[in-house]
Structure formats: structure tokens, C-alpha cells
Amino acid sequence: MSNTLKTKNLVSHRITSTNIDFLITSPLVRIFALETDVQKIIKRFCNEGECVHLVTPYHTLSFFFASLRDIVISGVLIGAGVFSWQMGWPMLATIIVLTVVWFVFVFFNLLKAYLDWAYDCIIVTQDKVILIDQTSIFKQEVKPIYVDNIGGISTSTQFWNLFPFGIVKMHLKEGLGGDSLVLRYVPRASEVAAVISNIVTEYQRKQMKKEDEKGSSEQSGE
């Protein structure tokens, strides 16, 4: 039983074994809080024998839309440089000024958008959903959400469903500062939601079975 999602440099698999060496991440880098090796994060947050069902990054267009303003500003600065060259203005001073402006107003926003896209991902195991949020090289947030805290899953489309990604919303029973978590730019959002929903349903069935067995044992004991 396998279903492979190839997005960016990360190959995502649905598996039924406990082997997590299938993950392919490139390159593997550790700088301050920047951790690009997903295997290490999985080993850190998953128990021995815990099955990993799905690992998926966010869609490439999440980077494009997050950096659209910075791309426009970069184009304007390039146009300003070309205009200065045509007007015969001192090019060295112009390049220095435009470069400083680009670094101050564009570079760091582009870097943040890239890190958000390149190293954020969703990991789904039999016991939890792990959300990795790499906001900068100095900050990484990992949110493990246990299935017993997930009340329901819903999906919705983005941009009139023109692109192969959508929104996954996890409705939580308690904690994490709100009633739901909204995940945007999720590739094949309906499939990801289905995997999470199936795991939650299976957990609920096991809990109901345990309660029934407990009730039966108490009745037999009486």
C-alpha cells in the first residue's frame, strides 16, 4: 500500500512499516535553529514502532505568493538601475544605493518566505500530526498534535481550485490557542485530509472498543 507525492526535494510516502529511512531531503543543513533533516525531527518526536503514514511539504506556489511583493520591488529596482544607466548617472553610486535598498526591504523577506516554503512540512503518524514551521534560521516551531485532540478535519479550495493545492483545517478539541488550525497551500489537500481523517477514525474505533470491553468485563465481574 503506497501513495507517492513528489513535491520539491522531498518525496512523501504513505507506508505501513516503521522504517523512516525513506525520506529524501536535499541538502541536509543545520545552522542555528535551521534543521533541514526531517528524519531527525521524526526520530525526535515519534516513539519506537510508530508508523509514519504521510510526509508532505507545502506547494511551491506558497513561496511565489508570499514573495510576490518583493519580486515586484526587485523589478522596480532593476528598472531604476536601467533608467539611471540610460540617463548617464554615476553607476557605482547607483548600484550601491539600489543594492542597500534591496537588502533592507527585500532580501530578508525573501529569505523568510523561502525558509517557510522549503523547510515547513506536515508529518502524519498513527498517533499524531506534526507541523514543522521554520520561520527563520533562528527559530523553528514544531507542533505535535495528538489524534485524540483532533475533533474533525475539513478541506476547502484556494484560488478557485486552479492549482493542485488547497486548505486543510483541523478542528481541535482543546489547546493550541484556538478551536482550529488552518493549513494553506497543502498539495492534494483532500488526500492529506483523508489520511488524517482515517487515522482519527481508527483511533476513535479503538477507544470505543476498549470502552465496550471494559464495560463487558465490569458486567461479568458483577
Q: Which string of DSSP letters, residue by residue, matches 82-102? A: HHHHHHT--HHHHHHHHHHHH
Q: How far is 118 from 60, CA to CA, in rounded Å?
A: 8
The sign of the torsion formed by the CA atoms of 182, 186, 20, 13 equals positive
Neighbours of 67 (CB within 10 A): 21
Query: And the C-alpha cell for 96?
Result: 550601491
Query: And the C-alpha cell for 169?
Result: 483545517
Model confidence pLDDT, tens digit, residues 109-133? 999 999 999 999 999 999 999 999 9
pLDDT surpasses 50 at 24:
no
Model confidence pLDDT, tens digit, residues 53-92? 999 999 999 999 999 999 999 999 999 999 999 998 999 9
Extents of the domains making up the chain:
5-58+120-221, 65-114
Q: What pTM, to 2 d.p., does this model score?
A: 0.78
Q: Indicate the CATH number for domain 5-58+120-221.
A: 2.30.29
Query: Helix count (H) and strand count (E) of the chain?
Result: 6, 11
